[in-house]
Amino acid sequence: MSNDTDREFANLLQLAIDGQIDPGQGQRLQELMRGNPERMNAWVDHFRLDSLLSNEIDRSSVVDLVDLVCPQNSTLDHVSPEVHQTKYRKHTESKAWWVVTAILAVSVLFMAFLFVTGRSLSPFASVATPTQPDTTIAILAQTSEDVWHGNVEPPLLLSPGRLQLESGLAEIRVYNGVTLYLEGPVDLDLNSLEHAHLRHGKLRARVAEQAEGFTVTTDAVRLVDRGTEFAISAGDDGRSQVHVFDGLVDLYPSGKASRDDTNRRPVSEGESVEVDPSFETRRTEFALDRFPSAQAMDQSVANRFERWKSWSTEFAKRPDLLVYYNFEEFGEKGNGRNTVIDLADANPINATVVGCEMLTGRWPQKKALGFYNPADRLRVRIPGRWPNLTMACWVRLDELRGVNQALLLTDSFDAWQPHWQIAKEGTLKLGIGQDTVEESRRMRSPSTPLNELAPLGRWMHLATVYNAERKTVDHYVNGNKAGSNGLPVAEPLHIGTAEIGNWLRPRQTGNEPIRNLDGRIDEFMLLRSALNAETIKEIYQAGR
Amino acid sequence: MTSNDRNTTDASTEVVALIAQHQSRLRGFVRCLLAHDKDVDDLLQEVNVVLWQKADQFEIGTDFWAWASQVARFKVMNQVRKYSRDRLVFDESFMTELADLATERSRGFEDQQSALRHCMKQLPGPQRALIEMRYSSERSIGSIADELGRPEGSIRQTLYRIRGLLLQCIELNMPETSR
């Protein structure tokens, strides 16, 4: 057991006791404690002693507690049940009071029930559950070819936590005005509005004036920004490199308190230094092109978009395409203001746009239609009967509302008409009309809940494959199988007039008069074949 | 009101008193599992509610701490499962280990409390003053640092050292049986 790790553990434990620890530091603590009973005991003991001390020294709260919970006490009369709604306050004493009053209020209610009804009812319906506060501190503004650790994509809005980008690029805008450019592999703890810890890899930061003081730490160094743009790396050897493009940063030994000014090492514009774990610094040559940047991000995104465009042109030639909209021609001269051109080669089926603001798609260059208002919808008429049908689209779903949200809904719901939508349970489902409601119910085909597969607010690829011969409905999310369902019976589907992103028929009953999507679509396709898993994966890969 | 109802009410009253007595112990328990302050108050309240709801299941005279810490552990685990991956501080398996340890080491709390009183008296004046400053009104390290004109880190370090001394002292002054 080395002295250094002991010291590190002690430091983190001190911070934890004061409630100032972040998840990244927590993980480190776990590493330090696992298999080390001495440290685990210390951890548990310090927390216990901390509450013992609060109890012992701030005695009034304990005395109050004991006195007041006694129901004979006359103060009972003054306690009103409304205190349930009171928000917690920071002060220990107030906390203790809150607990006392809550318990009292609950017991008053409880006894009132006992007296009045003579039976035991739960009085807890009136206990307010505080709403979850918004903990987000940054937005994942843009990514390109990003692959994340464990294939778990971070959400659009980021709360403090660890980001492990294995490859590709990501641009993060912290709410205070700091922009971070990451290029995988990079392992970063985004700790707060003011602080990020780089475990491994490299990043570039552009710090707006309003965010001066932003701090990036590595194992070797603590970098405090003084209004600038800089790059920093953390290597396996424990060394860090720092380069300042513009302005000034201050370096300190890692782990030193911010008030300690003796070891400050300023680095100014154009300067590059390498720092080892003992805070030895030396000037170094810097390979600037090895660091992610806004330009690299823009270039990568532009390349990605171009590559998708070529793929899309080729894809449009597929003979089994029924409908293919990528919205790129939408709004262009000569196409009609409200018309979306079907890119499928044979028998084009153009769509008519009602409402729908034009927004950006997967890349800033890409067009998308928004389906946020009750009016927003895309009208189509698709003739024919199809024993096999593949429905697929790229969608950015901003909210799951607990009601059905339309992808493609036929105007009527007659026998063998499909309703492709996000069900109120948050799953992808293909409803199939039958002669009776009973029969329709037997055709259920839900996927795994979407929010377990992909974060809301990020673009995702959804696909559903209907196969009448095999009597199956398969769902895919981001190229992966997300549900397989067998049907009792299956016949060819027919669509006729239908809508994308909404449902024409207003509902008279139920709590879902409107089925608009609450999101954007930037590519939509129907194929009259049952695509296999491999092909769906290819479509996803080409468009991600 | 039937005599049965009367008994239920008395038992509930007793449980309320027990809940109140165990607040600080439960708080220490929950905090050491979560490793951060966030959610602690809400969780503690949920634990209280469950303890109260199930008051009739608790047999007066049996080990209240064993029961309460079980409930608290369950609530913490449930809460943590709701966290997104990037908010997780400790892994579940590790939290289980910690919970076992914390349940065990919080036994004999009453004895610890009286041992603590004894040990506080033995602290040198300045150390005792600092501890009282920190805990008497739950003051932040920052405000103490400002008042004393010392860096936060050094205050934190000193408090940590004093807590270490107190822990040693409590250990030595515990009755043999509850060690």
Q: Which of A452-461, B51-60, B101-110 has the least mean pLDDT?
A: B51-60
Which of these, A459, A430, A466, A461, lies nearest to A322 by C-alpha position? Answer: A466
Residue A284: strand, helix, or coil:
coil
CA atoms of A535 and A525, how far apart (whole Å): 13
Predicted confidence at residue A133, as pLDDT, reads 62
Query: Is pLDDT at B54 greater than 90 in this prediction?
Result: no
Residue A360: strand, helix, or coil:
strand
Predicted confidence at residue A535, as pLDDT, reads 96
- At residue B92, what is the residue type? E
Closest alpha carbon within chain B to A11? B157
Disruptive mutation site among B27, B103, B128 for chain A (greatest number of A CBs within 10 Å): B27
Q: Residue A268 — left, alpha, or beta (φ > 0 → left; ψ -120 to 50 → alpha)? A: beta
Q: Residue A337: enclosing H or E segment and its boundaries? A: none
A188: number of Cβ within 10 Å: 25
Predicted confidence at residue A59, as pLDDT, reads 53
Q: Is the dihedral of CA A114, A116, A117, A123 positive or negative?
A: negative
CA atoms of A378 and A16, how far apart (whole Å): 54
C-alpha distances in Å from residue A168, one per residue of A143, A297, A544, B40, B57: 8, 9, 12, 38, 56
Q: Cβ(A383)–Cβ(A496) under 8 Å?
A: yes
A202: which strand partners?
Answer: A183, A233
C-alpha distances in Å from residue A517, one per residue of A404, A452, A527, B51: 8, 19, 22, 43
- At residue A216, what is the residue type? V
Q: Is the dihedral of CA A423, A425, A431, A433 positive or negative?
A: negative
Q: Cβ(A376)–Cβ(A354) under 8 Å?
A: yes
Predicted confidence at residue A64, as pLDDT, reads 33
CA atoms of A7 and B153, how far apart (whole Å): 13
CA atoms of A309 and A321, how far apart (whole Å): 17
What is the token pair recorded at A182? 């990451």
What is the token pair recorded at A368? 């998308």
For A241-369, where are the alpha helices, taking DSSP H only? 294-315
Residue A91: strand, helix, or coil:
coil
CA atoms of A67 and A41, how far apart (whole Å): 34
Distance from the B72 Cα atom to the nearest Cα atom in chain A, whole angstroms: 15
CA angle B143/B147/B150 to nearest 5° reads 90
CB contacts, 8 Å: B49 with chain A: 106, 124, 127
Cβ-Cβ contacts under 8 Å between A and B: the total is 203
Which of these, A540, A535, A510, A537, lies nearest to A523 by C-alpha position? Answer: A540
- At residue B42, what is the residue type? D
Closest alpha carbon within chain B to A29? B90
Q: Residue A140: enclosing H or E segment and its boundaries? A: strand A138-148
CB contacts, 8 Å: B109 with chain A: 52
What is the token pair recorded at A407? 């992808």
DSSP 8-state class, residue A447: -
One-character DSSP codes across A477-535: ETTEEEEEEE-S----EEEEEEEESS-SS--SSSS-S----SEEEEEEEEESS---HHH
Per-residue tens of pLDDT for chain A, all 544 residues? 568 889 999 999 998 888 888 888 888 999 999 989 999 999 999 999 988 888 777 653 333 333 333 333 333 333 333 333 233 333 333 344 444 555 555 444 444 333 333 333 322 222 233 344 678 899 998 999 899 998 888 888 898 999 999 999 999 999 988 999 999 899 999 999 999 999 999 999 999 888 888 999 998 899 999 888 999 999 988 899 999 988 899 999 887 555 567 788 899 888 899 999 888 889 888 766 678 888 888 999 999 999 999 999 999 999 999 999 999 988 776 666 788 999 997 788 999 988 888 899 999 999 999 998 888 899 999 999 999 999 999 999 988 877 889 999 998 888 999 999 998 888 999 999 998 877 887 888 889 888 888 888 899 999 999 999 999 999 999 999 999 999 999 999 999 999 999 887 655 544 455 788 889 999 999 999 999 999 999 999 999 8
DSSP 8-state class, residue A213: T
What is the token pair recorded at A426? 């948050």
Distance from the A124 Cα atom to the nearest Cα atom in chain B, whole angstroms: 8
Which of these, A463, A491, A467, A500, lies nearest to A381 by C-alpha position? Answer: A500
CA atoms of B162 and B127, how far apart (whole Å): 7
β strands within A317-366, DSSP E:
321-325, 339-340, 351-354, 358-360
Q: Residue B131: enclosing H or E segment and its boundaries? A: helix B125-136
Which of these, A263, A248, A257, A264, lies nearest to A213 by C-alpha position? Answer: A248
What is the token pair recorded at B36? 């951060």
One-character DSSP codes across A323-372: EEE--TTTT-TTS-TTEE----SSS---EEEES--EEE-SSTTSEEEE--
| Contact yes or no for B89 and A23 at CB 8 A | yes
What is the token pair recorded at A69? 């919970």
What is the token pair recorded at A32? 């330090």
CA atoms of A421 and A499, how far apart (whole Å): 11
| Contact yes or no for A103 and B32 at CB 8 A | no
Closest alpha carbon within chain B to A120? B5
pTM for this prediction: 0.56
Predicted confidence at residue A119, as pLDDT, reads 31
Rg of chain B over Cα atoms, rounded to whole angstroms, equals: 19
Residues in CB range of A314: below 8 A, 6 or more apart: none
Q: Which of A328-342, B94-108, B157-171 has the least mean pLDDT?
A: A328-342
- Total count of residues recorded for chain B: 179
Residue A83 or residue B131, greater confidence: B131
Chain A contact for B157 (CB, 8 A cutoff): yes
Predicted confidence at residue A40, as pLDDT, reads 94
| Contact yes or no for B25 and A92 at CB 8 A | no
Q: Which long-range contacts (CB under 8 A, 24 or more apart) does A75-80 make?
A: A76/A104, A76/A108, A79/A104, A79/A105, A79/A108, A80/A105
What is the token pair recorded at B162? 């004093």
CA atoms of A140 and A163, how far apart (whole Å): 11
CB contacts, 8 Å: A110 with chain B: 12, 52
The β-bridge relationship of strands A195-207 and A215-217 is parallel
Q: Cβ(A419)–Cβ(A488) under 8 Å?
A: no
CA atoms of A369 and A355, how far apart (whole Å): 9
A382: which strand partners?
Answer: A496
Disruptive mutation site among B32, B121, B157 for chain A (greatest number of A CBs within 10 Å): B32
Q: Cβ(A352)–Cβ(A339) under 8 Å?
A: yes
CB contacts, 8 Å: A102 with chain B: 45, 48
From chain B residues 114-153, the ones with a CB under 8 A of any chain A CB are 116-117, 120, 131-132, 134-138, 140-141, 151-153
Q: Cβ(A320)–Cβ(A529) under 8 Å?
A: yes
Distance from the A118 Cα atom to the nearest Cα atom in chain B, whole angstroms: 7
pLDDT classification of B12: cutoffs 50, 70, 90: low
Q: Residue B75: enclosing H or E segment and its boundaries? A: helix B64-82
Q: Residue A229: enclosing H or E segment and its boundaries? A: strand A229-234
Predicted confidence at residue A257, as pLDDT, reads 56
What is the token pair recorded at A308? 């998708």
Instruction: Quote ipTM for the complex.
Output: 0.91
A318: which strand partners?
Answer: none
Query: Is pLDDT at B87 greater than 90 in this prediction?
Result: no
CA atoms of A327 and A366, how far apart (whole Å): 9
| Contact yes or no for B113 and A56 at CB 8 A | yes
